[in-house]
Amino acid sequence: MVAEYDEELVKRRRLESGDAAVQDDSNENESNDNMTKKYGIGAKLLLKMGYKKGQGLGRDGSGISEPIEPEKRPVANAGLGSLSAAANNEEESESEATSSDDDMVHPLHTKDHNTVDFQKTSITFPSEDISELEELARSLQIRCNIGLPVKINQVDETRKNDLKKLGGELLDVQEQLDAIERRIPLVEPELSAMVNKEEQLKTIAECEPEAFEIKAHLILQASDRDLVDTLFADLLHSTFKKFWFNWDPLDSSNEVLKEFQPLISDVESHIEFSDISYNRTQTVIYRSIMEKLIPFWQDFELTKDKINLIIQLILDYQPIFKLMNCEKYLFEKYISVKLIDALEKWDISGNHEGLPPSMWYFDLSFLILDETLQKLEEIVESKLYAYFDKWHHRRSKVIRRSDLMVIQDLLGEEKFVDIIRTNFLPKFIDQLWDKYFDPVLELEDPSLDDGSLYYYQRLREYRLLFNTEDYKTLVGAAFNELNKILYQWLLYADDQDLSGAQWWFNSFINKIFAQNDPIEVELEEIRRSLRFFQDSNALNHPIHNDRLDLREELKLIDHDKKYNVQNIPLTRVSPTFRDVLEDYCEEKGFILEKTDHYTQLPQFTNQDVLVPVFKVHTGIRIHNVALKDDILWVEKGKGSFIPTYLYELAS
């Protein structure tokens, strides 16, 4: 700071002493400052590059020596080809830069459609600059086709500013008019559309009130979807309200509905519909139609009449339900609940409360939604597992054919077959094939009807549970045992006994199919056995398989657990007395049932043992029995048990 002060003091003293170099330098600095203020950053950059006022640009000074003067255009946003004016001086620039918002030109304000109000502009010009006023006059002549009534040089100073303001306002107005003219082509299509819409509305209004279909087609031809929705909703409302009070939803002869339903496809394509809320047309339809139909859904019950009524309404009003997008809502709210409840109460092999599923499922299946179907499938699958878990060939009832069709349809063929093979087929083989099918017993005692004949009778009763291949295997295994006996008969008997073998086979077949005729797979086995009798060389061509294993044929054997030389158990498996009792009851047709009661039986002197109590249903009486060691104890009095023989149970 001290150095700068000393240098400034030296300059001042040299200037006061008349030093010419200092004066020239001071003048040059002052000139440079004026150029910077006037021309801005461009002048400042030129001065740094060595430019000096009055000298030309370039290395040899041959360039221009004076800066290019800016020109003020009299019209805002004018192009380069417009008339130019003299540059404003430094004071004008500063005054324009600091002018307030109140002095700026404001856009036009419209009070109404016919009046345009303008605010005065604050554009000012220097009074001494006549050329600018002349330039303004030329602009008015060119842009607005307006000429000044007096010569400019004859105008006094007081009127120049007024002329300038007036000229500026006129130019602003012309600019606004030009902008409006440029927008006219843009709004012409919209104006044309409005005219067309007006003509369409006039045509609709001129139609007769009864001409519903004609009016509807005219409305749907409009391009504005919101307008179509409004007009069509109004048409529906005005049309429906005439007959709505006495309208019967079950009357399919209603003329208005007949005229409206064919238009629904056109309505869907010309009106905007939302999944969230109803538009005007849907609102009118809901209040006019749906509110009359909903009570029928609310009163729905699983009765034949109610089911038929709902189906009739759905068929009659299907297009309207689709337009309203309400089928899913109505079915889930009023019908699905009833179907699920009915299926949960259903006993698949016994009594039915109300209509069984076979009486309503296939009628309503085309309406059942995926979510409801999945729930029904889960219920049926659970009931089928429970049925097979408790299944017994004598106690359990056979599932009816109609109910079985419902189960198969809900579960699907693949799942149904898998459940049967996993949970039912092994039990069927264990309880019936292993214990009952032995044709030798019928050969020894022709009056016996509780052995092989009983097995085949149960096989035919449960035929629908098995798929085609499994049933064919079961039938083939049964006839294989018959063919084995026939082969042995022919092998050891004389020629006279051949007719006896054929008589026995025929009688056996007649007993099996006494109630129902054989199906094709059974007829094929019968013909095969009969051809065996007619073969003169039958002994050399046996048709049976000595090594047939039914479980292996059905692929029910786990080969890892199949007994062989390496894994056959060493301990001898002996049956218990309870097994003997169960076999005896099955042979006699009795039912053995375990109870929750226990009784005390003597074991040693002054010592008792607690054993469970069973019930034996003989068809005539019910015996309470207890088992201890190999002795059967039967209750003769209340809590009094005495030892008894098995055969005495039948008495």
Q: Give tens-digit pLDDT for 414-442.
A: 999 999 999 999 999 999 998 889 888 87
pLDDT above 90: residue 521: yes
Check: CB of residue 118 under 8 Å from CB of residue 173. Answer: yes
Q: What is the DSSP letter of 391?
A: -
Q: CA neighbours within 13 Å on the CB side: how many for 24?
A: 5
Instruction: Compute CA distances 174 → 11, 150, 160, 177, 486, whole Å.
Output: 59, 22, 21, 5, 122
Q: Considering just the CA atoms, what is the radius of gyration of the chain in Å?
A: 56
Helix, strand, coil percent values for the chain (each to nearest 5):
60, 5, 35
DSSP 8-state assignment for residue 141 = I
With beta carbons less than 8 A apart as the criterion, state whether 455 and 432 touch. Answer: yes
List alpha helices for 207-263, DSSP H: 212-220, 225-240, 255-260
Question: What's the mean pLDDT in 227-250?
Answer: 77
Nearest residue to 474 via CA among 394, 556, 530, 412: 556
Asked if residue 120 has pLDDT above 50, the reply is: no
Provide the Cα torsion 405, 408, 409, 411; round to 10°: 150
- Alpha-carbon distances, residue 473 vs 408, 506, 574 (angstroms): 21, 22, 31
622-628 β-sheet, strand order? 591-604, 607-617, 622-628, 631-637, 640-644
Helices (H) and strands (E) in the chain, counts: 28, 7
% of the chain exceeding 70 in pLDDT? 66
pLDDT in tens, 376-391: 999 999 999 999 999 9
For residue 600, what is the enclosing H or E element?
Answer: strand 591-604
Cα–Cα–Cα angle for 136, 137, 141, rounded to 5 degrees: 115
Candidates 446, 368, 425; CA nearest to 550 is 425
pLDDT at 583: 84
- Token pair of 384, please? 């089928």
CA 377 to CA 384: how far, in whole Å? 10
Tokens at 476, concatenated: 């083939």
Structure-token pair, residue 431: 């309880």
Instruction: Read off the pLDDT of each residue in 585-597 and give the average, rounded to a whole number.
Output: 84
β strands within 53-200, DSSP E: 109-110, 116-117
Pairing between strand 631-637 and 622-628?
A: antiparallel
Round to whole Å and give the CA distance between 485 and 444: 12
pLDDT the model gives residue 516? 87
The pLDDT score that the predictor gives to residue 154 is: 60
- Could you tell me if 232 and 284 are in contact, meaning their C-beta atoms sit under 8 angstroms apart? no
Q: For position 69, what pLDDT does the model report?
A: 60
115, pLDDT greater than 50: no
Q: What is the DSSP string of 280-293?
A: HHHHHHIIIIIHHH
Count the neighbouring beta carbons within 10 Å of the beta carbon of residue 611: 17
Classified as helix, coil or strand, 631 is strand
Better pLDDT: 7 or 53: 53
Q: For residue 404, what pLDDT band results from cuts at 50, 70 and 90?
A: very high
Residue 349 pLDDT exceeds 70: yes
Q: Do 146 and 170 meet the contact criterion of CB atoms below 8 Å apart?
A: yes
How much is the pLDDT for 206? 57
SS3 (DSSP) at 518:
coil
| Residue scoring higher pLDDT (99 or 515) | 515
State the pTM of this model: 0.54
Q: Sorting pLDDT into bands at 50, 70 and 90, what band is 568?
A: low
- Contact yes or no for 388/396 (Cβ under 8 A): no
Q: What's the pLDDT band for 133 if we cut at 50, 70, 90?
A: low
Where residue 104 falls among pLDDT bands split at 50, 70, 90?
A: very low
